[in-house]
Structure 1
Amino acid sequence: MATPNLFGETSDWRKSILSQLQNRNRQECQPFNDLIALHNRLFESAAALRTENRELFVENETLRRQSLERLPRNSLSDGKPNDRVQALEQKLLMQQEELTELHRRKGENAQQIIDLNKKLQEKEKQLNALEISLKDSLTVSSTLRLDTQLYQNKIKELENLLQLLRDEHQALQLTCASLEEKLRKTQEENNTLVERLIRYKSKDAEKMNEENENFVRKRQAKLQKELEEAAKDTRPTSPDKLGEGAATVLENTLPTKLSTKIDSHEGEVHAVKWSPVDRIVATGGADRKVKLWDVSKVGQYESKGTLVGSSGAIMSVDFDCTGCFVLGASSDFASRVWTVSDLRLRVRILIHVGCIILAVWVSSLELNYL
């Protein structure tokens, strides 16, 4: 029966093995067929000669008796045998020699048959061993065929899974490309909005700057007018009777005595601001630091901490209305907010406007978002 091999082809391996075994038996047994036939013929010839020998022996004995009975007594006394008897004896001797030779050949043939039987038994053992090995090989072959089929099924499953993963990977790539495109568009929109916000903030800052300049000019004009009126009035007047403008003039008069001198910064000092709730002074300088000083004791000062984080010189400082936050505007076009309690940087605002005006404007917001 033809069975498909691993490559899908058909092979009559059973017929092939059977034909190989028949050829081997034919090659190993055919040389001994003539010998066995010769042995059989010799055995039959020996049996026939043995029978003939017995018959001749009986005939010889009969002839001898008859010859002895027929011979005259004088011939018996002479002791000369008959020629026929001598011929028969010679023939008998030859047949005995031939029988002996046949016995010898029979023994040799018997020995050869014994040897051939031993070889035949050995060949049968080898044949049995080969048959057992063939059965084992067939069992292993069937097992391997089943394993091969199983592995082929696994390969097909893995190929299907790989194709599925490829499809999922392609879908994810398409999704990723779509998301990247959305991200790019979102970033562009964000940049546009940031630019618009910066423009709006710049306009608001410029407007606030104009309002502050107008306020400063009005205040200076008012002070100038009050000073001129005060200069015209030469009568002595107590501070209680003076108006608000005159009190302001008295407060802004030049000091006559140095109360406290603070060595606050390593370089120039650009900004100074009083806290609205405590006797704390905030100073900012060219060393990129904002320092807090406690001046509650007359003639003495104590450092309350240093606010760091600016990458440019501090140009303006300001407190919020509660005195909890300090705003510093620096020359790097950024404003920063620190907390007074723990001296930590909380907010960094980057706006391309003037730093001093920015400090005043952010201070007017009172930092409610904090």
Structure 2
Amino acid sequence: MAAAGRSPEAGLSGQRSIPGWKQHIALQLKHRDRVQKARYKHVIQSYNRLLERSSLLRHITENLQIEPAESSALSSPELGQCIGIEDMKRIHQEKIQGMQKKCGELAYEIIEKQEIVKEKEGILEEQINSMLDMEDQLQTWMNKQFRWRNLVGAQEQVNLELKRGYDELLATQRRKESELREGEDFEQSCLKEILALKNHRAAVQNEINDRIKQKNLQRELERVKKARVAVHLARRTEEPDGAAKSSDEHAAKVDVPKKLQRCHRSSSTLETRPSSFHGFFKVFANKPRSKSISSFSEERYQPLPICVLSRVPSRALCILDTFESEVNAVKFSPNSKLLATGGAGRNIELWDIGGGSMQSLQKFEGSNSTITSVEFDPTGNYILAASYERAAHLWNINCTLPKDSLTGHTGKVTAAKFTSMLHRAVTCSLDRTVKEWDLNRGACLNTISVPSYCSDVVCADYHIISGHHDGKIRFWDSRTKQCVHDIRLHGKITSLNINYNVTQLLSCTRDDELNVIDLRMSRVCLNSKVFRADGFKCGCDWTKAIFSPDGSYVMAGSSDGTLFIWNVNSGKLEKSLNEHHKSSVNAVAWSLSGEFVASADRGKKAILWSEF
């Protein structure tokens, strides 16, 4: 019996193992039976109770059919029957009909419950299938999770290796930078020694030349003394003086260099204003800046060293988006190692760009409104900034507070620039004035009234060039406060920039084009020198455009954040950079070394660019 009571599965387990999928199906069926039994147990119980009630009613109806016969037997006159037989039949018949009706209702209810049970079974089957699908998906996701965890572990190992390599490269870079600094120091010391040696050799050679010149002069005098000259007796007394005079003149001609024998132009010739703008710029361009002659002497800045070939930027070295507000102005120092930024944050921030990164050095405070322009003086020791508080501020880079504030404008100051003369600056404002300042005293020297709002200004010797909202560029003589000439363009002037040789002027206008003006020819260059590009849009009234240090390229930022660079010689678009800026570019700057480019936008972001 024990052997007969064993299940077939138990019997087969001794011979071979049951496959896993069969076990899984059996377990699922058992699970479904348990779930269905638990959910529909009360329905089955209700059904059983209804069956019991129906059987009870059937038994009662059978008894009622028997009771009339018994009641007829009992209905004798001696029992004093009060109710007739017909009435009792009617009553019992009504009860029977009521119970049959009740049984019909219960049967209909049973049928409805059976339909509900079938629907529930269908829903249950769907849920079971859905549960099985979800279990399969869960298993799939668990497998994927396991694979991704393995990949993450492998990537972490790769990252650790890369981090070690980066640390090694960083240490190597720092070591190379220290070696580079040592090499630069050694180069400077060698250069000083070479210069000293050359100066010494030049002094020795000058002494040798002087001795040779004296020997030649003595030889010539000896030759003159030995020469026999026939003279009249009446003029014998005059010969010595005449001979001495001739010898003195000859010696003077020997000693005096030929370039000193040429006559200089008088100062009055240069101070006379030319009859035409063309002639004025011709004189101005041909005149050497270091040998200019005027009615009074002025100290000037020494010429700055500049690169021979500028590099066109191609990638972002450093991206800063930690500014509290938009940036309106950027400027490199003359040595191309520092960068100054200013904007709506009211402060000037100084950055160290050594190694291709931007490290904050200090902030210059003192302005109570938005900064519109930033400028380094040619020595790199001072910073001049214009602001919306109707003033310009001058800082020494070693002090965070202003050295002086140039007040006197009645409107927003849009630009402030150093001139080529020491301790001089020029500012322009929306109050339609241009002012020249003495920075030693902080006093206004000249005020020039202009007919339109002034957006930007540049300087060239004694001449001031201003750009205006009426679309005109005006050229002013600061000594006479008179407009020498003006040039009309097609839109509002947003910025001006002059190249290093003071031969070309770049302007940016709101009609989405850049124009180059040849200061030697007094005309806007041909169409090849008017720079446009698809997608270039001037974003605001203070958008800046600049020359490269060597004058070979011009650059400006667009309203969509793209930087456009054109070749000045060919007039074609050289490159466009549209990777990082997402809002209008307000200002751009090109370092004098030609290596770096900086750009700033209205989205509180500044980027340092380079070629490599």
Q: TM-score, normalised by structure 2?
A: 0.29
Q: Using CA pairs under 8 Å that are at least 6 residues apart, name the structure with larger relative contact order, 1 or 2.
A: 2
Report the structure number with the largest CA radius of gyration: 1
More strand by share: 2
